[in-house]
Amino acid sequence: MSTPDFSFETESQMQGFTRVAGVDEVGRGPLAGPVTAAAVVLDPAHIPPGLNDSKKLTAKRRQALIALLLEHADVSIAHASVEEIDEINILRASHLAMERAIAGLRTPPDFALIDGNLIPRGLTLPARAIIKGDALSLSIAAASIAAKTRRDQMMWDLAQQFPGYGWDSNAGYPTKQHREALQNLGVTPHHRRSFKPVHNILYQHKNLSD
C-alpha cells in the first residue's frame, strides 16, 4: 500500500514556489455540523513520521500527529457553518472553508495543493487539484488530520448539548442511530436543512401541523 510523499511539494518548489500549503476538508457528508478545512505548510526538516489520509489512522494516532503538526508546521483550520452550507450548497461551502483556512496561515503560502478535482474559485494564489491527494501528498495528509481532529472534537462537544444523535461517535454522518434520532427527537439548529433526510423530516412535520 502506497503512502503519501513530498514529491508534489518538491515539484512545486522546483517551479519557484517557496511556501506550499496542503489543503483538505472533512464533513461534506454529515447531516449536521459545519464543514471544516485545514491548510498546512510543513517544515521539510520536521515532518512527523506516519502522516497519512486521516481516514486510515486511528483517533489516537491522529491526536499524536496533530500535536506534532501544531508544534512544527504552520497549521490553519477554518469552517463554513450549517447556515452557509444551506445557503450556498455543500461544495461551495467546503471551498469557502478551504479559502478561509489558507487565509488563516501565519505566513501566506504562494502555492496550494488542493485535495479533490476542483480548485476553489475564490482562491487568489496558484494551486493544483489532486484527486485522492490525502493519500498522495504529505501536506494534504497533514491537512486532513488537522481538519478531522478539530471537527470530531466539535461534534463531540455538540453531542454533550444534544444527546441521542450519537454525534460523539458518528460525527454527524447519517448512521442508523442518527436517522432514528432525527425521527424521534427532531431537527436541531445544527442540522443541515438542505440535506434530503433533514428536509424530508421538516416537510413531514410541516404537513402534520398544517
Query: How many alpha carbons lie under 13 Å from residue 169 in its C-beta half-sphere?
Result: 8
Please indicate, yes or no, whether residues 49 and 107 belong to a single structural domain of this protein: yes
| Residue in the block written with cell 518538491 | 10
Dist. CA 131–CA 113, nearest whole Å: 10
Please indicate, yes or no, whether residues 90 and 56 belong to a single structural domain of this protein: yes
Query: How many alpha carbons lie under 13 Å from residue 187 in its C-beta half-sphere?
Result: 19
Pairing of strands 111-115, 74-80: unpaired
Binding-site annotation: residue ranges for a divalent metal cation: 24-25, 115
Please indicate, yes or no, whether residues 153 and 105 belong to a single structural domain of this protein: yes
Please indicate, yes or no, whether residues 75 and 131 belong to a single structural domain of this protein: yes
Please indicate, yes or no, whether residues 112 and 33 belong to a single structural domain of this protein: yes
Instruction: Give average pLDDT by consecutive 10-residue segment, the chain, 210 residues.
Output: 91 97 98 98 97 96 98 98 98 98 98 98 96 97 98 98 97 97 96 96 67
43: CB partners within 8 A, 6+ apart:
72, 73
Q: How many domains does the chain have?
A: 2
Specify if 1 maps to a domain.
no
In tens, the pLDDT along 22-65 reads 999 999 999 999 999 999 999 999 999 999 999 999 999 999 99
Structure letter (DSSP) for residue 117 = S
What residues make up the domain containing 125?
Answer: 7-161
Please indicate, yes or no, whether residues 25 and 106 belong to a single structural domain of this protein: yes
How distant, in Å, are the alpha carbons of 8, 58, 65 from that of 31? Answer: 33, 23, 27
Specify if 2 maps to a domain.
no
Binding-site annotation: residue ranges: 24-25, 115
Please indicate, yes or no, whether residues 133 and 173 belong to a single structural domain of this protein: no
pTM: 0.95
Please indicate, yes or no, whether residues 185 and 157 belong to a single structural domain of this protein: no
